[in-house]
Amino acid sequence: MSQSKDMTVGAILPLLFNFTMPLLLGNLLQQTYSLVDAAIVGKFLGINALASVGASTSVVFLILGFCNGCCGGFGIPVAQKFGAHDYRTMRRLVAVSLKLAGIMSVAITLVTCLLCSFILEWMQTPDNIFEDAYYYLLITFIGIPCTFYYNLLSSILRALGDSKTPFWFLLFSTVLNILLDLLCIVVLKWGVAGAAIATVFSQGVSAVLCYLYMYLKFEILRTTPADRRFRPELARQLIYIGAPMGLQFSITAIGSIMLQSSNNALGTACVAAFTAAMRIKMFFLCMLESLGIAMATYCGQNYGAGKPLRIWQGVKVASGMMVVYVLLVNLILWTSSEKFALLFVDPAETEIIADTALFLHVSASFFPVLGLLCILRYSIQGAGYTRLAMFSGVSEMIARILVSLVAVPMWGFWAVCFGDPTAWVFADLFLIPAFIYVYRRLCGIVVRETNS
């Protein structure tokens, strides 16, 4: 147990900071996957190839977001049992989650691969980039089991308070991805498909290494034959928490798909600008996402330990960390967005560079809203109220659909830039009262248990 971390005791700021930093580095590395793919594709294969990679970004988020959300949800009961020191049930939850991952990832892979062409047609993907977009999306879907298992194993380790181990495997995998990108695209001339192959293979290696290390080094996770038996009651518990988290990501992505479809209809230049801006934006959002993930583990453990006041204190500390970070990021993006755009396109592409900078300036201005969204949503999920948190995704979906159907036809790319910020505002309007409700429920549970 030397590598696990009990977050139910001790000073909150250093606990959250030390837990969040490896998560941040890991998320930055995952975004480096995306940045490297897009940068190498844009520089070596051209604007059309870059647009073909970006044309299906929202679809990838829809499918992989569901998988990753389920994985995060599967980790919450593990964190709760760890916080309650019920290690036997914790091990059995881990064993069942690995079996569920196999069934779900294979089923999702089969369905998405069959629907690949239809999805791109429905999204109004331009004809000149359709073929490359199809192969990129197809290969990404084939690699879903690799992504599913890596995220599940990482979620289990985080549930035990270890955010460092997944980072080291991801670091190795990122370096491998960069090398394979250069090999597949520059040397072997496999084009856009080569970028997808490099990413999928790298994630598969990371998943295998994480699995081997987890069972060799974490004694607390070593199971007996009885622990490894499939238990329907535990499977239902995992799905009860994991499925709403996955659906929340997917519901959010439906709005993103509508927004991206509207942007695709504006032409290849807007698709390329959207692709570059999203890659840059996601890179800077890593801290907010990492802080949210840290809060899910923190709240899960403290929920299991029966400490609601400590959850509230953690939300306040996390919000303070978020504000400091957001101020720094706004300074960077408002002064350097055009320079970041040059990572993807040549200086002669002035229209794409200007649109990329516009998108980033608008997004950065609303980062405080997104930061609060991440903290509250993950805190609610960590406490086990994943179905309630899912409705914040519905709020985001409605906002993006309204922007796509009403604003984009009227104002074009300007409206696309405000699509995500509008969704973040809608989500916070739901999450703030939702968190207050959850916190009061948790306090009431503790009072009843104390009096009984």
Which residue has better confidence, 126 or 447? 126
Torsion of CA 336, 340, 346, 349, to 10 degrees: -60
- Mean pLDDT, range 279-306, rounded to an integer: 88
Write out pLDDT tens, residues 318-342: 999 999 999 999 999 999 998 988 8
Predicted pLDDT of residue 446: 62
What is the average per-residue pLDDT within 40-47?
A: 70
pLDDT averaged over the chain? Answer: 85
Q: What is the pLDDT of residue 40?
A: 73
Residue type, 247: L
- The number of residues in the chain equals 452
**Residue 27: pLDDT over 50:** yes
d(CA 157, CA 215): 11
Most confident of 12-16, 77-81, 160-164: 12-16
pLDDT for 313-322, tens place per residue? 999 999 999 9
3, pLDDT greater than 70: no
pLDDT confidence of residue 82:
86
pLDDT given at position 448: 55
Residue 272 in contact with residue 352, Cβ under 8 Å?
yes
User: What global pTM score does this model have?
Assistant: 0.74
Which residues neighbour 357 within 8 Å (Cβ) at sequence distance 6 or greater?
337, 338, 341
Which among 443, 154, 430 has a CA at the least distance from the CA of 297? Answer: 154
